Chain A
Amino acid sequence: MTWTCDQVETRLSDYLEGLLEAPERAAFDEHVQNCAECAPLLASVSNLVSELRSMDEVELPPQLVYSILDRTLGPREKVSGWQAFRNFVRGFGAPKFAYGVASVMATFVILAGASGDSFRKPKLADLRPATVVRNVERKAARTYASGVKYVSDLRVVYEIQSRLRQEKELQVVPEENTPNSTPEKQPGQTDDHTNTQPRQQNRANELAREVELLAAECPVVFERSYR
């Protein structure tokens, strides 16, 4: 398939934008390679498209947006001098402004308090840098000292509290170790807890030994009395 110059010119943009089918593209290429008029035209248009697509945007005139707003939404209201002043003063009553002023004042008060200034007797000398630095240093030293003292006091209090707690625990321990009384247990009889009441155990052992000795020495008496 051989294309003419008219065909190439008609499909030139399709070729540049990659919209030609493979056979069309081959025919296009074949013609351009052999045509002294179409080859420079293709190069010119290709360069032109690149140039157009890389052209910078024109800078917007600065007043254009305002002019458009004036024409669409109407001109901005122009106020006289007295009215402008009243509007200006009215702006101070806005909650945002009041909040801002209060915040700034609070900040100043906190900073001044931290620097050790006195509000009761303000003096011009207090504003000197050397005085401000000295006041700040003094205030910082006092704050540090009071902090150290507070921590020290806390330590003493905790120590006393822990000792008192230990004393209480020592008093509570013997009551906890007392064995429960059992109703079926006979007087003088012990359970397997030999360590719990050594005195009772010793007393019972002594009584048993005395009874055995007495039985050995006086068997008659012992036998008669048991009969």
Chain B
Amino acid sequence: MRRHTRRIYNVCYRFVGNRTEAEDISQEVFLRVYRTLGSYRAAHGGFATWMTSVTRNLLIDHYRRTKRDRVTDSLEDKMPVVENKESVGRRPDQQALVNELSGQVQTALTRISPDLREAVILRDLQQLEYAEIRQVLGVPEGTVKSRINRGRIELAKILDQMGVRPS
């Protein structure tokens, strides 16, 4: 339960870039999964893939619903977030740099189109295989690869414009 929650919350946070919204959507995901558990079939792929599909659908719904009043550069987006993996053992100055860089990458991520964003999140942050991403997004594998490629290039260009150069 906790493992799934962590994964879903991370996907949501990376997509919306806002902790409160990510929390709300994560709850919606589990509620939807709980209600539609009977419709899950093993043929859809693994349970985690199916949950990711549900998450993706809700994220797209949320994106469409909030399209008008969305402010990309909200103050909350720039707030540093608490990250736990491999944080232990870093010096404070290193940790500050990592937090700053991941915050900037997160900001850039919310600026690319949702189609490209979700593809990049699933591939590079969740590290799913192409076949799994194809199942989640419901598009051919060629489209998946194309979106990932375009997403990365756009992200790199935005970071370049922001003066951020990951090394």
Contact = CB atoms under 8 A, between A and B. Distances in A.
Interface residues of B, number: 45
Contact of A12 (B34, B125, B152, B159): B152
The 7 closest A-B pairs by CB, nearest first: A56-B83, A52-B124, A51-B166, A13-B149, A44-B156, A47-B166, A59-B82
Interface string B112-143: 00000000100011010000000000000000
Interface in A152-206: none
Nearest to A51: B166
Nearest to B84: A59
Interface residues of A, number: 29
Interface stretch (A65-73, A84-92, A103-111, A210-218): A65-73
A24 to B, nearest CB: 14
Contacts of A9: 149, 153
Interface of A: 9-14, 41, 44-45, 47-53, 55-61, 64-65, 67-68, 71-72
B141 to A, nearest CB: 12
B30 A48 contact: no
A14 B101 CA distance: 25
Contact of A58 (B83, B145, B160): B83
A58 B82 contact: yes
Contacts of A52: 105, 120, 124-125
B74 interface: no
B23 interface: yes
Contacts of B82: 58-59
A8 B166 CA distance: 21
B87 A56 contact: yes
Contacts of B145: 13-14
